[in-house]
Chain A
Amino acid sequence: MTKLLILLVLVLGILTIAQLARVYELTSRLRGTREEDISPSDNRMNGRLMMLFLIAYFGFFLWLVVAYKDRMLPISASEHGVETDWLMNFNWVILLIAFVLTNVLLFYFSYKYLYSPSRRSFWQPHNNKLELIWTIIPAAVLAVIIIYGLNTWNKITDHPGADALQVELYAKQFDWTARYPGADGMLGATDFRLINGTNPLGIATPESVEGRLAEIDEEIGVIEQGLGAVLPDARIDELSDQADRLRRHKQRILNLRTVMQNDITVNGAASPYLAGADDIVTKDFYLPLHQEVEILIRSRDVIHSVYIPHMRSQMNAVPGMTTRLKMVPIITTDSMRTHVMKNDAFDFLVLCNKICGSSHYNMQMPLIVTKGAEYDVWLAEQMKKPFQGAPENATADAAAPATQENTGTADAQKAPAGMN
């Protein structure tokens, strides 16, 4: 009912304005003035409104800054972020000067030089000196912005150091999975065709390849058995398509097996196909303090984006390729909670920042930064855990953890609570 009333008021309001305008139009027609003749009083009123707007505009801006400055992102929790923030502030200073200057001139002139029949405009088609000055000044200022900007950019995107910790973040609709190298300190190779319930990241090891081949054979067998029955044509086509696709995949996996075997022969223990067996696949994302990390980012289905606002870090997750970002966390989750945010529920979050489907808005994972020793303890615990989707368990008994794997965001949300 109130909504109806609001609607009614709005409609009446608009009608009133329209009618007033008509009345005005009729009276001005009677007075003999034309619509295009802007009366001095109208001109003055609009000129004053220009000045009023300028004041309101700056006032609004100031209010937003004052009222919301504490609700912006807190100090950067990563090393490069400190520099990013400095660069941002440096840019803001320049931009604010330009912003105030141009707006004041624009609105002031619109108020000051209103039409008067007794006056003529200043005849000034151009002024080369002036134009040169305001081409050169922005150019010089921009040169400074570009140099500082690219300097920071080069540092951020430079190769990580040799002792950087490598961690993988794996995106799929609509959750994140982290993968840590096991005792060998090396992440194993992967292939998307090996993905199944027990191997959600498609880690390629001799065991997972054999397991997947056996699984495909089994699936083909089931389909062929099904084709033996009397079925409608459409269903037969569908099933044989499915079987064909599986056979194609099988062939590709056989190729992969050959590549893998060659690699193992050539590289021996250094082969990435032997490194995956002890990888730790987890829904918890931990990083050690003051340690440079290189995050390798992959996606299973569509483009996602790893966005960690508190770290000033972002990189897309693109299916078919591995992207990278590096950073050095400099504040632990605990100190953020006690010293910076004064909020015990605070967590660093990895958010998805590339539109990826219906639950895009809820594709998050907490990030826990701890001191190195605590991180080591956590990592050791992870190694002891029965591996969720480990290749050695791939065939038989890992079915239970695998289903857990698929529950997605619900798990990710529970994780921090479990930590406390």
Chain B
Amino acid sequence: MGATTTAHSGHHGHEAHHHHQESFISKWIFSQDHKMIGKQFLVTAIFMAWVAVIMSLIFRLQLAWPGEGFAFTNFFLGEKWAPGGVLDPNMYLALVTIHGTIMVFFVLTGGLSGTFANLLIPLQVGARDMASGFINMLSYWFFFLSSMVMLASLFVEGGPASSGWTVYPPLSALPQTIPGSGAGMTLWLVSMTLFIASSLMGGLNYVVTILNLRTRGMRMTRLPLTMWAIFITAVLGVLSFPVLLSAALLLLMDRTMGTSFYLSEIHVAGEALDHMGGSPILFQHLFWFLGHPEVYIVLLPALGITSEIISTNARKPIFGYRAMIGSILAIGFLSFIVWGHHMFITGMNPFLGSVFVFTTLLIAIPSAVKVFNYITTLWRGNIVLTPAMLFSIGLVATFIAGGLTGIILADSALDINVHDTYFVVAHFHIVMGMSAIFGMFAGIYHWFPKMYGRMMNTKLGYAHFWVTFVCAFGVFFPMHFIGLAGAPRRYYSYTEFTMFDGVMDLNVLVTIFAIVGALAQVVFTYNFFYSIWRGPKAVQNPWRSNTLEWTTPVEHLHGNWPGPIPTVYRWPYDYSKPGKEEDFVPQNVPIEEGEEEH
């Protein structure tokens, strides 16, 4: 293992990097090479995503055809949780909870940031490896361990955590109130603690590497937007995840040591509890102090990836590079002072609510700037619609659709009537779920040749995109209407009253789209794993891109560049620059005499 710490060589030191003869374990398992760690994150995330997708199919079946038995449900849950294939109400809540937890944290945080930050940071800033290869490796293994603990929680007595992915106490603190708040909840907290440790180790590494290990000439204003996005994401994570950690630890103490941080005046299961003086609202403040930046932790890397891909495939510089950086910074800053918009109706002081209305709606400005800049980048471009490009354009579409409904939810007076309804479910799945996963797919298709030295099948990529894109809207668009009819989220069924009968046929439509959408992911998974071994061999710079990662050889080697690290002379967006023969000029090409730097 020791032989692999080559990160220190930086830009100066020993240039000639020979292929070390590595043992199987240090190459494939406890690897400290950032490229391998990135791939480990990705494969783990794909597995976790499948777990969460199957969960969503199970509860979608229940929502479309409440009370009916399905062999599919029974197959996965058995007789205990799905007698005769009919989903148990407690298990329904557990599935909703774990689906959210896995998707938000394990797929879109660990999977997205973990994969692309690790793969791209050293390659795009021009470094031999991460600042600390060892901590980077630990980051993955904590993530892996945390995934295993989360999966293990599915098998405990009482089922996994069931109080929603936001785990609001007292429901999550008192096993008397819901079976999932027993051992399942304890494992949830343990898993999240490991996850936070992993994400902090990763985040610190990302920040340090981007700040300190840039190659000669790589000024901050020459960084690719992917790097900017990942940099700000890492800063957000480092500043906000510790707060979630403290929230989780306090909750753990309330559960096990009899403290009363979140509990007060509770009478449950026939007896008055001793807890006095705590406040459930405190947990919500702590949770959303992470929870809202978390939305941008999920979204910003996707936006960064998309900026890169849209510019490359439109063969046109990203429009308003500095405005794009500015809006990333603005979004990052504002994301810390908007958390209260999740709490308008918790009994929080209404004046405080108005402050959060104001700050939240401010975020719409940098977001709008980003959308306009993407669209202008496409205008009069020379667009190559690769699968990665399609997913990037798809991201802009979902970002628009979901971002606009965010304006309604940020307006506290309007939020009252749509809060916790399907309108919210539609909103955040489109703006955060779909956008981020589209960004992730775009990144996978685009950097697959960098990861595995082979190409993914384009035709399957097209099929994957179009079915996924149509199904994404087919699933989440009708949910706005279910929500506007007043239907609350996290309901096991809507058959106990007639109020929502008029919109329940939409639930069938949604479920059908969800099933088809899930099948499209089979195509993707097949394409991904098949191409790792059997895909056509890639060339060094298949997309004719400017960034530094495409100056490394196709075959991976420790230290990334066989010779010296290239020096950077220009920004990464010199596409179709007038006076140049090719329609791209890589960053390591010196500025010619008389040439202006964009």
Q: Which residues of A contact B (CB under 8 A)?
A: 3, 10, 14, 17-18, 20-22, 24-25, 29, 34-36, 38, 42-43, 46-47, 49-50, 53, 56-57, 60-61, 64, 68, 70-73, 81, 84, 87-88, 91, 95, 98-99, 102-103, 105-107, 109-110, 113-116, 119-127, 130-131, 134-135, 138-139, 142, 145-146, 149-150, 152-154, 156-157, 173, 192-193, 195, 202, 245, 248-249, 300-303, 305, 307, 309-310, 312-316, 318-321, 323-324, 345, 349, 351-362, 364
Contacts and interface: CB of A to CB of B under 8 A. Distances in A.
30 contacts: A3-B71, A14-B526, A35-B455, A35-B456, A35-B458, A35-B542, A36-B386, A36-B543, A71-B502, A84-B414, A106-B393, A109-B379, A113-B378, A114-B383, A125-B319, A125-B320, A138-B364, A138-B368, A139-B365, A142-B407, A145-B361, A300-B266, A312-B416, A314-B417, A315-B347, A319-B266, A320-B280, A353-B420, A353-B488, A357-B178
A139 B408 CA distance: 16
A98 B314 CA distance: 24
A347 B163 CA distance: 29
B502 A68 contact: yes
Nearest to B386: A38
Given A113-B378, A303-B280, A120 B320 contact: no
- Most chain A beta-carbon neighbours within 10 Å: one of B385, B408, B519, B526: B385
A60 B401 CA distance: 14
A255 to B, nearest CB: 12
B575 A121 contact: yes
Given A57-B473, A145-B411, A193-B272, 15 more contacts: A21-B459, A22-B457, A36-B543, A46-B462, A50-B393, A87-B413, A120-B583, A122-B380, A123-B578, A124-B380, A127-B320, A150-B413, A301-B266, A318-B279, A364-B496
A333 B165 CA distance: 37
Contacts of B411: 87, 91, 145-146, 149, 153
B362 to A, nearest CB: 7
B278 to A, nearest CB: 7
Contacts of A71: 485, 502-503
B493 A149 contact: no
B164 interface: yes
Interface string B256-269: 00000001111110
A126 B272 contact: no
A318 B347 contact: yes
A249 B271 CA distance: 10
Given A95-B407, A153-B353, A153-B357, A18 B523 contact: yes
Interface stretch (B167-175, B223-231, B561-569): B167-175
A345 B536 CA distance: 65
A7 to B, nearest CB: 9
A145 B315 contact: no
A56 B164 CA distance: 34
A323 B347 contact: yes
B382 A116 contact: yes
- Most chain B beta-carbon neighbours within 10 Å: one of A21, A354, A355: A355
B138 interface: no
Contacts of A20: 459
B204 interface: no
Given A35-B457, A349-B497, A362-B496, A95 B404 contact: yes
B403 to A, nearest CB: 9
Given A25-B536, A71-B502, A320-B265, A10 B365 contact: no
Contacts of A357: 93, 171, 177-178
Interface of B: 71, 89-90, 93, 163-164, 168, 170-171, 174, 177-178, 263-268, 271-272, 274, 278-281, 314-317, 319-323, 345-347, 350, 353-354, 357-358, 361-362, 364-365, 368-369, 371-376, 378-386, 390, 393, 396-397, 400-401, 404-405, 407-408, 411-414, 416-417, 419-421, 449, 455-460, 462-463, 466, 469-470, 473-474, 477-478, 481, 484-486, 488, 490-494, 496-499, 502-503, 506, 519, 522-523, 526-527, 530, 535-536, 538-539, 542-543, 573, 575-578, 583, 598
A248 B272 CA distance: 11
Given A14-B523, A131-B323, A349 B407 contact: no
Given A68-B502, A309-B486, A154 B350 contact: yes
Nearest to B173: A302
A125 to B, nearest CB: 5
A150 B462 CA distance: 45
Given A106-B396, A353-B488, A123 B323 contact: no
B417 A195 contact: no
A61 to B, nearest CB: 7
A353 B485 CA distance: 14
Contacts of B265: 192, 319-320
Contact of A316 (B71, B347, B358, B412): B347
B274 A245 contact: yes
B583 A49 contact: no
A72 B503 CA distance: 8
Contact of B420 (A43, A106, A307): A307
B81 to A, nearest CB: 12
B2 to A, nearest CB: 38
Contacts of B492: 358, 360-361
- Give the 8 A-B CB pairs with smallest separation, nearest first: A320-B264, A71-B502, A309-B486, A157-B350, A323-B347, A122-B380, A35-B455, A121-B316
A142 B583 contact: no
B519 to A, nearest CB: 6
Contacts of B407: 91, 95, 142, 145
B459 to A, nearest CB: 5
Contacts of B535: 35
B170 A14 contact: no
A361 B488 CA distance: 9
B322 to A, nearest CB: 7
B364 A142 contact: yes
Given A84-B414, A145-B361, A157-B353, A303 B170 contact: yes
A102 B278 CA distance: 47
A106 B378 contact: yes
Contacts of A138: 364-365, 368-369
A102 B494 CA distance: 36
A209 to B, nearest CB: 14
A121 B319 contact: no
Contact of B417 (A42, A84, A153): A84
Contact of A110 (B393, B457, B463, B477): B393
A57 B486 CA distance: 24
A301 B317 contact: no
A151 B529 CA distance: 55
Given A21-B460, A38-B458, A122-B316, A351 B488 contact: yes
A36 B177 CA distance: 56
A113 B381 contact: yes
A53 B345 CA distance: 38
Contacts of A303: 168, 170-171, 280
B414 A134 contact: no
Given A68-B506, A125-B573, A84 B413 contact: yes
Contacts of A318: 279-281, 346-347
A192 B266 contact: yes
Given A29-B536, A43-B384, A120-B583, A64 B478 contact: yes
A109 B375 contact: yes
Nearest to A352: B488
Nearest to A44: B385
Contacts of B417: 73, 81, 84, 309, 312-314
A353 B416 CA distance: 11
A121 B583 contact: yes
A98 B404 contact: yes
A46 B390 contact: yes
A42 B385 contact: yes
Contacts of B530: 18
Contacts of B320: 125-127, 131
Given A3-B71, A125-B598, A302 B347 contact: no
